[in-house]
Amino acid sequence: MRQSTKAVRAVAAFPRQHRASAARACSLIALVFCAAAFEPGGAARGAETEADAAPNAPIVSPNTSLLDAPAESVVEIRGQRFPQQPGRIQVLLNAQHPIRNDGDAQVYISADKVERIRNDASKTEEDKISFRLPKDIALGRYHVALQMRAQTLADGTEVKAQTIRVPGELRVITREPPKITAVKPITGYPGEKNRFQFELTGEHFARDADDNAILINGSAIPRIRGCKVKTVDHTKDASCVLLSDDARTLSVYGYKADPYQGPVTVQVRANGMTSVEQPMLLSRIPRNQALPLAIVGALALTGMLIALVWSGLGRYRIGQERYSPFAVFFLDKATNTYSLSKLQLFAWTAAAVFGYIYLMIANLLIQWKFAMPDLPDGLPLLLGISAGTTVTAIGITNQFGGKGSGPVHPSAADFITSGGLIAPERFQFFIWTVVGIAGFLSLLLLADPSTLHQMPKLPENFLTIMGISSGAYLGGKAVRKAGPIIKTFAIRAIAPPAALTKDDKRPDGKDPAKPVIVLNLKGDNLDVKSTIKLDDKVLRSDQFWITPRLLPEPPSTMSGEVDAYLDLGNIDPMQPASLLEGEHTLTLVNGDGQSASLRFPLDPMKIKSSEPDPLRPGSAPVPVTLTVENYSDGTTAIWKAPHVDDEVGVPKPVKAATQGGANPPPAPAVTGTAAAASVRVTVQITPGSREGDGTVILVSALGLRASRTIAVAKPIPGPAPAPAGPAVPPAGPAAVPAAPDPDDVPEDGVPHPRTNGDTHG
């Protein structure tokens, strides 16, 4: 104890500015003593025991109450029998946390004044010690102790050096009220179970997080006392408040807002003072919900419009393909192509409507604004340009004719092409439309919905360039020649050379050697001097010719109806009948390069299956059941037995093929009647004696064909197969179908409609 007392005396004897360094140089025993002075039952308690043993020893009044005090203020401690010389008393402040800038947790202060006063309450004499807090002392909480040097009292009593702890604690506070300099985020979005978190940055906060009260709309929020780590307790309404190491940031976690608590004010109360109010916004919905809600709203509106179109128009069919009501919005039915003028009108309208829905959601559910938002400058003018372009384009089409219809089915290429050719002015208009809409929506969706007050403004120069692009698009429609449009077509005939009339003759007067397919085309701007592509292959002039059915007015070569003649012998000399089976694409190309395409026939006949398969070799007729799509009345059949005809591609008459002998068997009989899109027909076939692959061919009344390969093979030895069914006697060339296959009948129970003029299904 004596050694520790000497250490304390040595520290106290140093000049004030060097005492901190001297204290660190104390012996280990002295430092242990200094720490023990602040522990219950430690040196302070020992000093009190010594004071009790020495009646004249100094004591601290148990009624002493340390108050909150700012730096440079005077602190008073009352007691009895204090030394009257201030230099004999040293005040030790021991911080609860090492928060001094120099890292030292202890502050030594010499008593400034000791005086004797009268306590009016107890009518006794008391001593009072006064000391002034340093200017640079760190804010926070301190334990206070008095270190007294050894002294001799007036009565000769020797008082040893001792340390006396002062009850309570001293809080060093700032003279300035707390100040909030920033609220992050300015808009709080609810998290799990509608809890918020935010940060308050500022100065002059209390050094202990629990000493800072957070006020929302003037009321202190419930909080978890002693919260040291980020905590969100969903079972309680209390929030966790953490203080940064530099005491400049308060982090609030798990705040539960009251109902309808949107725009609020936030304050901090510390050291008995309250900060100025700062605004903060508490959103109704999480930030990532604004966009999905806007999408749902836009889809609901779109669905309503599609339902209206569906109820009035239904699906649209081009050839065998059907198009949804959504595609109908962009289709130009005159050309069966997608319309650029419709696209830009609907696209800008959709972007504006979606943006307005998104803005309304942001205003109502995030910003708590109950008013219709304003439209940005330039948007009404842009929508006017868009609508005017569409209306003007319709007028130009009616006056001068439209673009060529191009490929059979519409595609995205229609937006930048005219009759299969890229049009520069259409490309420019399309690109600026896409760039404008993409930029408009990007600026809208990337903005913070809490600060979004209106949709993006459209600059004047952007409106100028959209107007220029629109004008160029309309000018191109006006000056470009109208392209070919095929509205309807029909296979008028598959005529042998002898059946061609004078009007059907080739312009050069030569007679074809093989049958000719005659296609009748009706539409607009059909050039009698057009070239023809068949299945993407350009035909030579000797492979086709075109005859106008409606004579054009000179000097124009455009007609509204023409006949196109395809010379099968010149197109495919080896297999001229190949064009009579399956689907083929014919493209009519005008002199300026614009084109129009069609696929013929619209509903080709197809043999889907045959039973039985394979057939057993033999010379007796065998009934074979065929499942046929797009069957038509008047159909006949041909059977080509295996290895009968080595001369590939030579067309045969419509009768049964030979079996290698001199006398051919009769033509296979076909029984059945016309039915729906898919029927089953029975054909009497004589397989022949040789094994291999035979071919059954159905020929429509018009001359179009469908074929299927059927194997002829000996059965594998084993149990005799079940009989194929009773033989049906020949019934002549007509094919009569059995009952329709239920799986092949459409859901509506009726055959699908066919395009006008398709006489063969």
What is the number of H-type helices and E-type strands within the chain? 11, 42
Contact residues for 639 (Cβ-Cβ < 8 A; gap 6+)? 656, 657, 667, 668, 683, 685, 686, 694, 695, 696, 697
| 630, two tokens | 């797009």
Q: CA 238, CA 225: separation in Å to the nearest integer?
A: 9
* Residue-level length of the chain: 761
Q: Return the number of other C-beta atoms located less than 10 Å from residue 271's C-beta.
A: 22
| 251, two tokens | 């982090």
Q: For residue 444, with 0-12 CB atoms within 10 Å meaning exposed, 13-18 middle and 19 or more buried, which class applies?
A: buried
Residue 671 CA: distances (Å) to CA of 241, 244, 633, 657: 91, 95, 11, 19
- The residue among 386, 416, 387, 385 whose CA lies nearest residue 403 is 416
pLDDT tens for 224-278 read 888 878 877 767 788 899 999 888 999 999 999 888 888 999 999 988 889 999 9
Instruction: Indicate the SS3 state at residue 742.
Output: helix
Q: Return the number of other C-beta atoms located less than 10 Å from residue 701's C-beta.
A: 13
pLDDT range class, residue 74, cuts 50, 70, 90 = confident
Residue 217 CA: distances (Å) to CA of 211, 266, 268: 19, 6, 11
**724 compared with 185, residue with greater pLDDT:** 185
Examine the pLDDT at 734 and tell me if it is beyond 50: no
**496 compared with 120, residue with greater pLDDT:** 496
Contact between 150 and 50 (Cβ < 8 Å): no
Examine the pLDDT at 509 and tell me if it is beyond 50: yes
pLDDT on residue 23: 39
Examine the pLDDT at 645 and tell me if it is beyond 80: no
Q: CA 733, CA 663: separation in Å to the nearest integer?
A: 19
pLDDT tens for 400-424 read 888 999 998 899 999 999 988 999 9
460: phi then psi, degrees, rounded to nearest 5 = -65, -40
Contact between 93 and 106 (Cβ < 8 Å): yes
Of 209-223, 630-644, 671-685, give the range with the top mean pLDDT. 209-223
Give the chain's radius of gyration (CA, Å): 51
Examine the pLDDT at 8 and tell me if it is beyond 50: no
pLDDT range class, residue 517, cuts 50, 70, 90 = very high
What's 406's DSSP letter? B
Contact between 142 and 172 (Cβ < 8 Å): yes
What's 581's DSSP letter? B
Q: Return the number of other C-beta atoms located less than 10 Å from residue 347's C-beta.
A: 16
Contact between 656 and 639 (Cβ < 8 Å): yes
Is pTM beyond 0.75 here? no
Give strand pairing partners of 108: 92
Examine the pLDDT at 677 and tell me if it is beyond 90: no
pLDDT range class, residue 564, cuts 50, 70, 90 = very high
pLDDT, the chain, mean: 79
**What does the pLDDT average to over 356-382?**
92
Q: Return the number of other C-beta atoms located less than 10 Å from residue 758's C-beta.
A: 18
Of 20-24, 351-355, 601-605, give the range with the top mean pLDDT. 351-355
Q: What percent of the chain has pLDDT over 70?
A: 79
pLDDT on residue 136: 82
pLDDT range class, residue 45, cuts 50, 70, 90 = very low
